Amino acid sequence: MSKRLRSSELCADCSGPDPSWASVNRGTFICDECCSVHRSLGRHISQVRHLKHTPWPPTLLQMVETLYNNGANSIWEHSLLDPASIMSGRRKANPQDKVHPNKAEFIRAKYQMLAFVHRLPCRDDDSVTAKDLSKQLHSSVRTGNLETCLRLLSLGAQANFFHPEKGNTPLHVASKAGQILQAELLAVYGADPGTQDSSGKTPADYARQGGHHELAERLVEIQYELTDRLAFYLCGRKPDHKNGQHFIIPQMADSSLDLSELAKAAKKKLQSLSNHLFEELAMDVYDEVDRRETDAVWLATQNHSTLVTETTVVPFLPVNPEYSSTRNQGRQKLARFNAHEFATLVIDILSDAKRRQQGSPLSSSKDNVELILKTINNQHSIESQDNDQPDYDSVASDEDTDLEAAASKANRQKSLDSDLSDGPVTVQEFMEVKNALVASEAKIQQLMKVNNNLSDELRIMQKKASRLEKQNSTPESDYDNTPNDVDPDDPGSSRKGRQRSVLWQGDGSVPDVAEAHTVPSPILPSTEDVIRKTEQITKNIQELLRAAQENKHDSYIPCSERIHVAVTEMAALFPKKPKSDMVRTSLRLLTSSAYRLQSECKKTLLGDSGPSTDIQLVTQQVIQCAYDIAKAAKQLVTITTKENNN
The domain spans of the chain are 21-112, 126-223, 256-434, 438-645
- The mean pLDDT of 61-83, rounded to a whole number, is 93
Beta-carbon contacts of residue 382 (< 8 Å; ≥ 6 apart): 333, 336, 337, 341, 412
The Cα 13–Cα 106 span in angstroms is 8
Please provide the average confidence, as pLDDT, over all residues in the chain: 75
Dump pLDDT digits (tens) for 467-509.
655 554 443 332 233 333 333 333 333 333 333 233 333 333 3
Task: Inform me whether the pLDDT recorded for 104 exceeds 50.
Answer: yes
DSSP secondary structure, 83-144, as one string: HHHHHTT-----TTS-IIIIIHHHHIIIIIS-TTSPPPPP-S-HHHHHHHHHHHHHHHTTSS
Q: Could you write out the DSSP letters of every residue in 300-336?
A: HHS-HHHHHHTSPP--SPPP-TTS-HHHHHHHHHGGG
Report the topology of domain 126-223: 1.25.40
The closest of 155, 163, 241 to 195, measured between CA atoms, is: 163
- Is the pTM of the predicted complex or chain greater than 0.85? no
Q: What is the fold, at CATH topology level, of the domain defined by 21-112?
A: Annexin V; domain 1 (1.10.220)
Q: Dihedral sign, CA of 401, 406, 412, 416? A: positive
- Between 523 and 428, whose confidence is greater? 523
Rounded CA separation 354/305 (Å):
44
* Residues in CB range of 446: below 8 A, 6 or more apart: 296, 299, 300
Which is nearest to 563 in space by CA: 591, 605, 589?
Answer: 591
pLDDT tens digit string along 285-332? 999 999 999 988 988 887 655 544 455 568 899 999 999 999 999 999
CATH superfamily of this structure's domain 438-645: Nucleotidyltransferases  domain 2 (1.20.120.330)
29's enclosing H/E stretch is: strand 28-30
**Cα separation values, 241 from 27, 172, 233, Å:** 28, 20, 17
The pLDDT value given to residue 633: 86
